[in-house]
Structure 1
């Protein structure tokens, strides 16, 4: 799609704006990463917005986390009260990620299995 004159114009103007804003953004990024000479002043500004953690602390924490994962068997923490076959929970609800079409399909399968166990024959052509 996106071939109309309006979308072409919008794309062109966004590109122009990117060119215009790029130098300011680059300067701000350098200042934030303290590549600039006045990096210390930038860090105080950044600390008001976000928490600044030194890299060595992150590396140490990462090593500790990896040690904890080695003992784990790698399974996800799922809701244990959900039936794996029908995907229904204890209240008869399907998961939030499932769309209505999938739920209807599973419900149809469940009901058809119940009906076939009842011993009722399906109506059809007699011969």
Structure 2
């Protein structure tokens, strides 16, 4: 979609900015990691660069996965309540990844099956 001259220019300028700021970011990251060995590191400095997760939470996650075993690893129950045919969930909502155009098309198909045909647009001769 983004093929206009303006978007191409913006992408180019963002790439230039990334190139310009990369050495600063790398130096900042290296200095932060260097301070970590001495124990002088503050979490606020690291939070600016990366997401910080406490070690206890990670250990709990690993322990939970080990307890469950391999039974639940291959199955996701995210869209278990969604109709395979119409892609509607229990509240009558389409998935978030579906575009408005696709949703309108699916709605039209559903309504056509009910017998409610739409009137054609334009002048009838």
Shorter-chain TM band: 0.5 to 0.7
TM-score by length of 1: 0.52
Residue number in structure 1 paired with 2:94: 94
Q: Deviations over 1:34-91 (max 9, x none)?
A: 1xxxx1232xx2399656538xx84x86365144141226221235443221112334
Larger Rg computed on CA atoms: 1
- Over 3 Å counting, the alpha-carbon distance change for 1:2 and 1:84 in structure 2 is same
Counting matched residue pairs gives 102
- Cα distance in structure 2, aligned partners of 1:91 and 1:77: 17
Q: Deviations over 1:79-117 (max 9, x none)?
A: 54432211123343222332111111111222233339x
- Cα distance in structure 2, aligned partners of 1:73 and 1:52: 24
Residue 27 of structure 1 deviates from its aligned partner by 1.8
Residue number in structure 1 paired with 2:123: none
- Cα distance in structure 2, aligned partners of 1:108 and 1:85: 14
Matched, 1:40 2:39: yes
- Cα distance in structure 2, aligned partners of 1:113 and 1:41: 68
- Cα distance in structure 2, aligned partners of 1:19 and 1:47: 21
- Over 3 Å counting, the alpha-carbon distance change for 1:15 and 1:110 in structure 2 is closer
- Cα distance in structure 2, aligned partners of 1:74 and 1:102: 29
Unaligned segments of structure 1, at least 5 residues:
117-127
Secondary structure in 2 aligned to 1:70?
A: coil
- Over 3 Å counting, the alpha-carbon distance change for 1:68 and 1:103 in structure 2 is same
- Contact kept in structure 2, 1:46 and 1:52, CA below 8 Å: no
Residue number in structure 1 paired with 2:33: 29
Q: 1:116-127 maps to which residues of 2 (within 5 A)?
A: none
Residue number in structure 2 paired with 1:121: none
